Amino acid sequence: MKTIPGIRVLIWDFDGTLYRQQSGLLDNIRWTEIKVIQHHTGWTEEKAKEEFYKLYNVETPSGTKATAILSNISNKQASIETSHLTDYPKYLTKDRRLIDIFARLTDYKHYMLVNGSQESVSRGSALLGIDLSVFTEIVTSELVGETKPGKKGFTYIMQQTGLPAAAHLMIGDREAVDLTPAKALGMHTCLVWSNAKSDVADVTLPTVYGVPDVLG
């Protein structure tokens, strides 16, 4: 397995990265986004879906951002409202292997970079058994004023660490959203939960559990 030397900071996406994305959970998240849009607009479900998919993966890869735009609310509020409706306990449970990863990586600084809210991350992490105190900071789109794949979150983290881009490893499950902007800034990149060949990722892993093994 390829290893990447010189890494001092690990930047983690959350959804679909710290756990394997499941179709049932993804469908549930899409459903909650439509419901939030309906609540704020008064549209029918059919109309809300139609408008959502005009934006999602067309104008923006972020479902949260598409929901916020259509509902005329902030990204943070969109994330909070969808999180309240999402049935995370049905899909997420304590993950001992994930807990062990962070126990092995205490020599690194950890940041989380997400398009969602602090509240949604806290809820999901608790179900997975992850203590958020292992992270130096949870960097949200609300904090930096931009969702991924915008670069503000990445540059914010580099400003906080004061380290060169090459000392950072971005770990995520979506090339366009998580890895491409990091790569453009000179960070190293790791694609997880994939067996596909990647032109963006320095390392591709079939699960998240192999991350410690790529750190040289």
Model confidence over 141-154: pLDDT tens digits? Answer: 889 988 899 999 99
Sheet holding 109-114, edge to edge: 137-140, 109-114, 9-12, 168-172, 188-191, 203-204
Q: What's the rounded Cα separation, in Å, for the pair 211 and 134? A: 16
Contact 160, 166 (CB under 8 A): no
Residue 23: pLDDT band (50, 70, 90) is confident
Which pLDDT belongs to residue 56?
94
Q: Whole-prediction pTM value?
A: 0.91
Q: Phi/psi at 201 (nearest 5 deg)?
A: -80, 135
β-pair partners for 171? 12, 190
Q: What value does the mean pLDDT take over residues 127-152?
A: 94
Q: How many CB atoms lie within 10 A of CB 196?
A: 8
Identify which of 55, 107, 122 has the alpha carbon closest to the alpha carbon of residue 212: 107
Burial 128-146 (b: 16+ CB within 10 A, else e): bebeeebbeebbbbbbbeb
pLDDT digits (tens, 9 = 90+) for 47-96: 999 999 999 999 998 899 999 999 999 988 998 899 899 999 999 999 99
Helices H / strands E in the chain, number of each: 10, 6
Q: What value does the mean pLDDT take over residues 123-132?
A: 96
Q: What's the rounded Cα separation, in Å, for the pair 55 and 12? A: 25
